[in-house]
A and B are shown apart, each in its own frame.
Chain A
Amino acid sequence: MKAAFYSLTSCEGCLTTLITNLGPNLQALWRIFDIDYFKLVREPVGGEKVPRVDIAFVEGAVVTSLDKKRISQIRANSSFVVALGTCASCGNIAYSASRGVDLKRRALREIEVFEAEPLSSYVSVDFELSGCPVSAEEFTVALLRLLNGIEPKQPDFSVCYECKMSGNRCLLDVGKVCLGPIAMGGCGSACPSVGAPCYSCRGPAVEADLSAYLRTIRRHGIPEGKALSAMNAFTGKKIVELLKDGKK
């Protein structure tokens, strides 16, 4: 089986996390797959050419003209495309940061810069593994399911679920703008467990209900505007879609 790991415009944090956090699993990965393209680990076998693979893991958002060309090449040459990390699945910070800016002046020589978009805006994506950065454990679980011909699954719960499980005090009760109730879980409530509010780095939960969330924070006396700006900061396209739906 062939696999490849690509990187579009991003901090390359997701692939770095995989290399550092997979531990002994990383070697197992090389035993199971023929990995022709994983630039962070070694020089690609066929140079810059996009190889034909069974599973392609793509991190990063589509920002430049180079990214646009690359993602359509990747799609054409891969049977299964996995968006790795929140940049690839939602657009992450780049999504909101690239809007309302004069992008023409930011062009780098012949490379054009556009408003950042997640992969799904340009090509069809088979599975999205959110996380900023992705969790190596979730990656392994998803990979093992894929190898066995089972569809991988996204967490169906919000950050609140795991946060209550870890026995944390609710941060809304102390007046912090926590996006936990609408944020996709699976992180083990990493931030609320150390007292930092959730900023929804994985994008919205599968069943996120924005109007219910706004009612909840109003009950706690938290201004709506603060929560909305926190939402816009991180989670990109999916929150914007959620906001549109919520205002209907």
Chain B
Amino acid sequence: MIRIKEGDLLRLASMLGDMGYRVIAPTEANGVTKFSDFSAGTGIDLDYIRAINTPRDFLLPDGERLYTYRSTATVTSYGLKIRFPTVEGPCPVTINAEYSTPSGRIAFFAIHPCHANAIRYLDRVMLSDPADPYYKARRERSLIVVLECEEGDDFCFCVPAGSWKLDDGYCDILVRRSGDEFLLQPKSKAGEEAASKLNARAEADLLEEKAPKMRSSFSISTSEEMIDRCESEGLDSCTLCAACTVTCPTCYCSDIEDRFHLVDPSNVERLRKRMSCQRRCYSMIAGGNLFIKTKEDRYRWRLKHKFPFSSKAFGISGCVGCGNCIAFCPAGIDMRRTVGRGFKT
């Protein structure tokens, strides 16, 4: 364990930058805390409880270019004609997909334990066979500095969700505030290497994770039948804005989009765009039919994906109890009323 001052912690962030990491840290602007690129001189919000974006936005960025390919597009007097290998039979020219995996190193600085557990969940999803090469390249070279919370806000429920504990490999340095000072515990080789540069004297005792104080206590119990039977109370004010999935640290659904350019039509970019189960086109099939029509169904689908489906497919819950979907919902829809046994507002 190392005992340091706040200035030293900020120094650690800029040192990580010097070590070649792209440092992502919480910063406060216009009344919201947001993870963004840290550069020396910008402050870090070390007292934040809730951030509007999550590490997922950096591990799975929206609109990421997967690869580019040359199509057999020609401009004729009848307009632009693009031949797709899948649409018009065998492609006359082989597609030479050019792709490269991201090469930068990311350091997540002062993320909360729930965010670290969200990364653990994303790992289960994205790295299970076949692993996603883009995600894998980013994850392999990333470093996680976890800042513990002392107390949650009205929406936090990481203790009922069990996500205040950290698994091996999901925390390189553990940081806890203790009065004016910070306690640091390197938990991996990379963490030790970074912390050693602070030249602070190490103390003998080990820092273990501690559960933060919660304002509400309940237990989470979910089954498909239970979610199906849930009351749709409060859902009539849902405007389907999808804030719940946009701010969720574990939502990973995406859509594939081919982007053409008028100037050079044969140069096609294939992008991975964020998708949300609350959107209309999520369940749309050819002919315009929707499988998940009503907002009640979309709400249930989201909860089913988070709890029973994730437990079955990946062995862990897809909800880390960060409470973002409740805090950022303009309609104030609270999923704890559906899945929390013994929950009282």
Give the segment of B4-12, B107-115, B241-249, B302-310 that binds chain A. B241-249
Question: What is the CA–CA distance of A107 and B75 in the complex, to the nearest angstrom?
Answer: 47
Residue of A nearest to B281 (CB): A156
A-side interface size class: 35 or more
Q: Are B281 and A170 in contact (CB under 8 A)?
A: no
Closest CB-CB distance, B7 to chain A, in whole Å? 27
Question: What is the CA–CA distance of A51 and B30 in the complex, to the nearest angstrom?
Answer: 52
Residue of A nearest to B332 (CB): A219
Report if A15 contacts B (CB, 8 A): no
Q: Are B77 and A1 in contact (CB under 8 A)?
A: yes
Report if B330 contacts A (CB, 8 A): yes
Q: Are B274 and A219 in contact (CB under 8 A)?
A: no
Question: What is the CA–CA distance of A2 and B81 in the complex, to the nearest angstrom?
Answer: 15
Q: Are B280 and A164 in contact (CB under 8 A)?
A: no
Report if A196 contacts B (CB, 8 A): no
Q: Are B80 and A32 in contact (CB under 8 A)?
A: yes
Closest CB-CB distance, A167 to chain B, in whole Å? 5
Q: Which residues of B contact A170 (CB under 8 A)?
A: 328, 330
Contact pick for B239, options A25, A31, A156, A212, CB 8 Å: A212
Report if A12 contacts B (CB, 8 A): no
Give the segment of A35-43, A93-101, A140-148, A234-242 that binds chain B. A140-148
Report if A206 contacts B (CB, 8 A): yes
Report if A33 contacts B (CB, 8 A): yes
Report if A60 contacts B (CB, 8 A): no
Closest CB-CB distance, B62 to chain A, in whole Å? 7
Report if B34 contacts A (CB, 8 A): yes
Question: What is the CA–CA distance of A172 and B241 in the complex, to the nearest angstrom?
Answer: 13
Q: Are B246 and A161 in contact (CB under 8 A)?
A: yes
Q: Are B280 and A160 in contact (CB under 8 A)?
A: no
Q: Are A33 and B79 in contact (CB under 8 A)?
A: yes
Q: A24-B263, A148-B82, A215-B237 are in contact. Are A169 and B280 (CB under 8 A)?
A: no
Residue of B nearest to A208 (CB): B239
B-side interface size class: 35 or more
Q: Which residues of A contact B81 (CB under 8 A)?
A: 147-148
Report if A16 contacts B (CB, 8 A): no
Q: Which residues of A contact B247 (CB under 8 A)?
A: 164
Contact pick for A1, options B34, B79, B262, B295, CB 8 Å: B79
Q: Are B263 and A28 in contact (CB under 8 A)?
A: yes
Q: Are B237 and A161 in contact (CB under 8 A)?
A: no
Residue of A nearest to B36 (CB): A167
Contact pick for B243, options A33, A160, A212, CB 8 Å: A160
Residue of B nearest to A26 (CB): B262
Report if A115 contacts B (CB, 8 A): no
Closest CB-CB distance, A181 to chain B, in whole Å? 4
Report if B52 contacts A (CB, 8 A): yes
Q: Which residues of A contact B263 (CB under 8 A)?
A: 24-25, 28
Report if A175 contacts B (CB, 8 A): no
Question: What is the CA–CA distance of A167 and B262 in the complex, to the nearest angstrom?
Answer: 31
Report if B252 contacts A (CB, 8 A): no
Residue of B nearest to A157 (CB): B279
Most buried by A among B239, B243, B247: B239
Q: Which residues of A contact B31 (CB under 8 A)?
A: 169, 174
Report if A29 contacts B (CB, 8 A): yes
Contact pick for B237, options A140, A143, A165, A219, CB 8 Å: A219
Most buried by A among B236, B238, B265, B331: B331
Q: Are B79 and A212 in contact (CB under 8 A)?
A: no
Interface residues of A in 134-153 (CB under 8 A from B): 140-141, 143-144, 147-148
Residue of B nearest to A148 (CB): B82
Closest CB-CB distance, A229 to chain B, in whole Å? 19
Closest CB-CB distance, B119 to chain A, in whole Å? 19
Residue of B nearest to A171 (CB): B330
Residue of B nearest to A195 (CB): B30
Q: Are B262 and A181 in contact (CB under 8 A)?
A: no
Q: Which residues of A contact B242 (CB under 8 A)?
A: 157-158, 160-161, 164
Report if A91 contacts B (CB, 8 A): no
Report if B32 contacts A (CB, 8 A): yes
Report if A213 contacts B (CB, 8 A): yes
Most buried by A among B62, B242, B276: B242
Question: What is the CA–CA distance of A231 and B44 in the complex, to the nearest angstrom?
Answer: 39
Contact pick for B262, options A25, A156, A165, CB 8 Å: A25
24 pairs, CB–CB < 8 Å, chain A vs chain B: A1-B77, A28-B262, A32-B80, A141-B259, A144-B80, A144-B260, A147-B80, A148-B81, A156-B281, A157-B241, A158-B242, A161-B246, A161-B279, A164-B243, A164-B328, A165-B274, A167-B53, A180-B241, A181-B239, A212-B238, A212-B331, A213-B239, A215-B237, A215-B331
- Show the binding face of A for B, using Cβ within 8 Å: 1, 24-25, 28-29, 31-34, 140-141, 143-144, 147-148, 156-158, 160-161, 164-165, 167-170, 172, 174, 180-182, 195, 206-209, 211-213, 215-216, 219-220
Query: Which 6 pairs between the two chains have the least Cβ-Cβ distance?
Result: A160-B241, A215-B237, A181-B239, A1-B79, A28-B262, A156-B280
- Show the binding face of B for A, using Cβ within 8 Å: 30-32, 34, 52-53, 62, 75, 77-82, 236-243, 246-247, 259-263, 265, 274, 276, 279-281, 295, 328, 330-332
Given contacts A25-B261, A32-B75, 20 further A-B contacts (CB under 8 A): A1-B78, A32-B262, A33-B79, A156-B279, A157-B242, A157-B280, A158-B242, A160-B239, A161-B243, A161-B276, A164-B328, A168-B52, A169-B32, A170-B328, A181-B241, A209-B295, A211-B236, A212-B331, A215-B237, A216-B239
